[in-house]
Amino acid sequence: MAHLEGLRADSSQFTLRGQPFRILGGSIHYFRVPRPYWKDRLLKMKACGLNTLTTYVPWNLHEPERGAFNFQDQLDLRKAYVSLAAEIGFWVILRPGPYICAEWDLGGLPSWLLQDKDMQLRTTYPGFVNAVNVYFDKLVSVIQPLMFENGGPVIALQLENEYGSYAKDEEYMPFLKNCLRSRGINELLLTSDNWEGLRYKGMEGVLKTINLQRLSFGAIQHLACMQPQKPLLVMEYWSGWFDVWGEHHHVFHAEDMLGVVSEILERGVSVNLYMFHGGTNFGFMNGAMDFGAYKPQVTSYDYDAPLSEAGGYTKKYEVLRDLFSRYNAEPLPEVPSPQERKAYETVSTQQNLSLWDSIQFTEKPFRSERPINMENLPVNNNSGQSYGYTLYETSISSGGALNSGNNIRDRALVFLDKQYVGCLDYKTHEIMLPDAERERTLTFLVENCGRVNYGKALDNQRKGIVGDIVLNDTCISGFNIFCLDLKPSFIKRFDSFIYFFYLLSNLIFLLHYPHDWGKGVVFVNGQNLGRYWCIGPQHFLYLPGPYLRSGENQIIVFEEEKVGGKILFSENPEYGKTIDVYKLPFCSLL
């Protein structure tokens, strides 16, 4: 009987505990927010008048190596994150995937799946099904106590994400439904799709929901006609948008957002704000777009959301709090005090270590006649290399035309006898090497800039060198391959070379890199803050206070192109030139 009182979708309005219920939700991803800040962000969302927290669950973080699971510390979904949400007074909708999109590397799927050359992601291909079953065995054991019927806050779960836009296998979504039901999950199940994806047929006992930013095409009415006498939910109301390197920062003005959210609520529709607080793609976890052109996403996931990347209040927060207060029977909680931000004094770089000197800190190289892609390298307990850089080294005895045939994924700095000679990527497939009458060392430093997270290109996301490289029409062979995934264990080996800055107080900082830095990654006290790139739009990295310690702090910058002399700190982010997403045609965003 307890389950019958959970979230139900049996009429035109949701019911919870047998009473009418309106979902006023917001998305905050625990994996994009430092754990010490979870409570701050959730209290701020509660004070805005929301009653439901939604979060994705990233498979690639929870099972980074095949069969090795992590639900601890920053990834403590059950005991720390969802339980904290319940204490604060939220209901929870989990979005466990296995694919989540989320502008996250490979849409949250672990890269070791790609070791299988025949792998068919998001289908009932046996290799994918077997891996999903192992993952769901573990995941469900973790989340089962959180279900409403067990006294927990989880009132619904979403199957996969926007599968209607992909839809390659009619048996796949029923398989996922069975994955949860057969393991004892009895709460309401949802799917979510954008306008295009609504064409995909539904499943018995699974509620369709919609994702959108503007009320066009009669999308909500179309959903209502598809599911008569069912409640309506905008599962993702896009409060902003994400950015890609080399383009403008996307903004969505508060007035435009407010008009749409107001109309959604006036129609009696439930809504979830994606994102309420975006956070950060720390490390190498950003995804990428590819609709004919590969475009990696930036480190910041600010998303122009109601709460900024550093957790600050925005105008969107103010207008939404006023709006949602009208849909709450009780007065809203007081707004928590904003966290203090402070700029620290400029830090000068003290020591430099070349790429060639740093190779000594890597594991023994792997020898192969032909190039091996990252995922198939025999590292990380044979789960391959997931992220970072791979260095390929070989010998050549002539110059001429070096052609990648588009087999570089995604960007390679090319060196001849340790001297930089050019860059190969998706746009540049050929460079000329100078002639010489002796044998020389040819090196490729290849970066995985982020795997595509959405669309048909998802099927082709192996990284590193994925095929033959040709010099004067002859395939190059005989490679030494070094894994440079820049994991904490690797960074720790630089202890005798790092430089320090001294901190007086444990506040929030924005690490701002001036334009004399090129492209690279920043580590503070072993924490990977993410990528930077002088092409923008992002010209800073968010440095959370909990990553710092009183006294001595360590900074390591892995710089690919040019070493600047100083690192600056700022109180405010620099996002570069902006563009208003509401004035763009929707198709241009995808």
SS3 category, 538: coil
Please tell me which residue in 103, 162, 447, 559 is annotated as part of the active site: 162
Check: CB of residue 566 under 8 Å from CB of residue 347: yes
State the Cα–Cα distance between residues 386 and 19, nearest whole angstrom.
47
Query: Could you report how far apart the first and last alpha carbons of the chain are, in Å?
Result: 45
The long-range contacts involving 579-583, CB below 8 angstroms and separated by at least 24 positions, are 579/247, 579/248, 579/249, 579/250, 579/251, 580/251, 580/252, 580/253, 581/213, 581/240, 581/241, 581/250, 581/251, 581/252, 582/213, 582/214, 582/252, 582/253, 582/256
State the Cα–Cα distance between residues 322 and 509, nearest whole angstrom.
30
Cβ neighbours of residue 266 under 8 Å, at least 6 residues apart?
Answer: none
Q: Is 162 a catalytic residue?
A: yes
Helix axes 126-143, 172-181, angle to 10 degrees: 30
Number of neighbouring beta carbons within 10 Å of residue 229: 10
Check: CB of residue 371 under 8 Å from CB of residue 464: yes
Of 281, 237, 278, 318, nearest to 41 by C-alpha is 278
Helix/strand/coil percent split, the chain, to 5: 25, 30, 45
State the Cα–Cα distance between residues 321 and 30, nearest whole angstrom.
22
Of 189, 314, 331, nearest to 257 by C-alpha is 314
Q: How far is CA 5 from the centre of its chain?
A: 35
Please tell me which residue in 236, 309, 375, 447 is annotated as part of the active site: 236
| CA separation, residue 188 to residues 3, 21, 76, 278 (Å) | 10, 14, 23, 26
Tokens read off for 162: 């926007």
Of 498, 532, 492, nearest to 515 by C-alpha is 532
Tokens read off for 441: 């060392």
Tokens read off for 130: 């077997």
Check: CB of residue 544 under 8 Å from CB of residue 40: no
CB burial of 372-389 (b: ≥16 within 10 Å; e: otherwise) equals: bbbbbbebbeebbbbbbb
Q: Is 437 a catalytic residue?
A: no
SS3 category, 8: strand
Cβ neighbours of residue 372 under 8 Å, at least 6 residues apart?
Answer: 366, 464, 465, 479, 481
Check: CB of residue 444 under 8 Å from CB of residue 413: yes
Q: 451, exposed or middle or buried, with CB in 10 Å at 0-12, 13-18, 19+?
A: buried
Check: CB of residue 553 under 8 Å from CB of residue 495: no
DSSP-derived letter for residue 527 is: E
Query: Which residues are known catalytic residues?
Result: 162, 236
